Structure 1
Amino acid sequence: MNGILNVLKPPGMTSFDVVAYLRGILKMKKIGHTGTLDPGAAGVLPVCAGKATKAIEYLTDKDKVYRAELLLGISTDTQDSYGKVISEKEVKASCDEIERVMKSFEGDYSQLPPMYSAIKIDGKKLYELARSGIEVERSPRNVKIHFIDILSINGNRVVFDVGCSKGTYIRTLCSDIGDRLGCGGHMAFLVRMKAGSFDIKNALTLEQIKDMAREGTLEKNLTCIDRVFEDYDRICLNEKDKKRFLNGGFVGLEMRGKFTSAQKIRVYGQDGAFLALGETVLDRTGQLNLKVDKLFV
């Protein structure tokens, strides 16, 4: 079984719990998720099985879309509703001011990773240090907020959708918005709506996956590996070039105008089967060639 499952992760399970559960259902070890989702959060969690695990590194780089609720006036040590309350302040900001401040976070954003995260410093995860009462210095990370769409403002509760780059902590965004408004705040709930091209509308619950595995219909619901690279150009190789390519040799590209150097390309055989992700390189003579970047056969 080789492909990607668009899993609807339920709240209360870690991403690793989901993978362990699927290993038991599918009776296979080669499974991995494509980006940690907080235990209390729900939503899209693409899970790769078999040869698709080779695509995990590419999927984790994809942009994400979340729906979140910001609760203003209450700050917690974890920046979400599961933490200890560390301050409470009156919310004096108007709806217009809340919207203005939230929209000001769109674009490039220097974000300080939270202590309660899985980032490692000197071999130890930050959340392990935090649980021991230790706070260490962290370096801000540059992330990008593509958009913030406010769905509702009801008192001190704000529900909004946010599109962001990889590595963005939405609970930290909520905390930073609260701090900029002068009242503090935390993330009350979080749902991941999209991860790359995977949408919550097509996500499968663990119960659905279990039923499909029992009925023998699960493989039909796997997403093909090449879906991960659908934004890349594609090329089809004849049998001679295919053999050379799969053996690690360079394949000359006569279509110089179509491709450029250091370009990633989806590579297929004449039968339409996805073979690999290739990369274009220039040889000593200036000829543009195709070489293997990652094999999927």
Structure 2
Amino acid sequence: MSDFVPNGVLCIDKPAEFTSFDVIAKLRGITHTRKIGHAGTLDPMATGLLPVFFGTATKACDILPIQDKRYLAGFQLGMTSDTEDIWGSCTKTGVTVPDRETVESALEHFRGEIMQVPPMYSALSVSGKRLYDLARQGITVERQPRPVTIYRLELTGYDPETGSGTLDVCCSKGTYIRTLCADLGQKLGTGGVMSSLRRTEAAGFTLDDAVSLETVAEWMQNDGLKGKLLSEERLFSPYPAIRLNPVQTRMFLNGVRMDLNRIPDAAKADPSTPWRIFGADGQFLGLGQAFTEAKELRLLKFFVERN
């Protein structure tokens, strides 16, 4: 493989039937580099935004801020499934599906903070065992409801003849969209399953930032990834920013703790929140954190290669 390691974020529009790891494996082969990671696993049948990290950006995998995610989800009323989606064992309920107004009214119940019971077919563990492993053995265990937040829930399409529709969902981390579809069906008394899922926003990126694997392959036939990767800084957009002067930039790059009183805005920093650190030339250097008792700005993570 090439010694060249690109640094930054590449957003992939994941195709159906690919696992998130399949995408990583494909990119390793296309780009001839191994230092690649990703954020926010997508199920194989889901499509859409998968942020992929190259080089120094892989350092972000374990420190990403908690951000909302957005999906376009297809649902089908009038049936149930052991997996809460159409890829499981489905059973038609025979119940007449409602009109659009009734569906709209039911959706109000799911907006805001709600309690959601995780599905059996999920990666959560109970007593050290993955729920999906238990489910495949035909074992069902009690799961405790968990709080999740639905910030946006809009019915963007609905056919009252078939009971099929589409939801635009913006939600907190840990929300199961197929469970949302199943719970909607239960609320309506018809049963319901998720019929499709496409992620449109995650980790501060949108589908507008995403490209296909085929596009990446074409890039590698020409100029490679030069100029194509997005800055790691966008991953941390919820955090406030500090710009250092030339002397402070050198100190930060050398891991030197700095006096907060000598850094504009840093003295009033929230000690519980990391800061995006920019060098004198505007380059994103990494993350730092203010320790107000010690009156110091300390390094948390570098995102720049030091000479």
Taking structure 2 as the reference length, the TM-score comes to: 0.89
- Structure 1 segments unaligned to the other structure (5+ residues): none
Q: Which residue of 2 aligns with 1:145?
A: 150
Q: Is the 8 A contact 1:34 1:57 kept in 2?
A: no
Alignment deviations for residues 208-246 of structure 1 (CA, whole Å, 9 cap, x no partner)? 011112212423111111111223222222344334434
CA deviation map 1:114-134 (0-9, x unaligned): 111122334432222211212
Counterpart position of 1:280: 290
User: In 1, are the aligned partners of 2:77 and 2:97 still within 8 Å (CA)?
Assistant: no
Please, which moves more after superposition, 149-158 or 57-66?
Answer: 57-66
Q: 1:264 to 1:101 in 2, by over 3 A?
A: same
Query: Which of 272, 281, 294 is the matching residue for 2:301?
Result: 294
Aligned-partner Cα distance in 1 for 2:258–2:109:
49
Q: Structure 1 pair 248/210, CA: closer, same or farther in 2 (3 Å)? A: same
Q: 1:265 aligns with which of 250, 272, 275?
A: 275
Alignment check: 8 A CA contact 1:8 1:43 kept: yes
Percent sequence identity is: 42
What is the aligned counterpart of 2:103 among 98, 103, 108?
A: 98
Could you say which residue in structure 2 is the equivalent of 1:221?
Answer: 228
Map 1:11-50 onto structure 2 (within 5 A). 11-50=16-55
In structure 2, C-alpha distance between the alignment counterparts of 1:249 and 1:140, rounded to whole Å: 46
- In the other structure, the counterpart of 1:57 is 62
Q: Secondary structure at the match of 1:242?
A: helix
TM-superposition CA deviations, 1:12-62 (whole Å, max 9, x none): 111111111111112222211101111111101111111111112344722
Structure 1 stretch 44-53 or stretch 258-267: which is displaced more?
A: 258-267
Structure-1 separation of matches of 2:65 and 2:273: 20
Cα deviation, residue 204, structure 1 = 0.4
CA distance in 1, matches of 2:207, 2:114: 26
Residue of structure 1 equivalent to 2:84: 79
Segment of structure 1 superposing worse, 4-13 or 22-31: 22-31
- Match for residue 165 of structure 1? 172
Gapped regions of structure 2 (runs ≥ 5): 1-5
Aligned-partner residue type, residue 221 of structure 2? R
Q: Secondary structure at the match of 1:35?
A: coil
Is 1:129 the counterpart of 2:150? The answer is no
TM-score by length of 1: 0.92
CA distance in 1, matches of 2:59, 2:84: 33
Runs of 4+ in 1 over 6 A off after TM superposition: none
Q: Is the 8 A contact 1:15 1:38 kept in 2?
A: yes
Of 53-62 and 96-105, the range deviating more from structure 2 = 53-62
Q: Does 1:154 align with 2:159?
A: yes
Q: Could you tell me how far apart the structure 1 residues matched to 2:124 and 2:28 are?
A: 25
Q: CA deviation at 1:272?
A: 2.4
* Shift of residue 260, structure 1, vs aligned partner: 3.3
Q: CA deviation at 1:95?
A: 1.9
Identify which of 183, 189, 203 aligns with 1:196.
Answer: 203
SS in 2 for 1:158: strand
Pairwise CA RMSD? 1.9
The answer (yes or no) to whether the contact 1:99–1:150 under 8 Å persists in 2 is: yes
Number of residue pairs matched by the alignment: 294
| Aligned partner of residue 84 in structure 2, secondary structure | coil
Q: Distance in 2 between matches of 1:195 and 1:95?
A: 29
Distance 1:119 1:214, change over 3 A: farther
SS at match of 1:216: coil
Letter in 1 for 2:278: Y
Tell me the SS of whatever aligns to 1:57.
Answer: coil
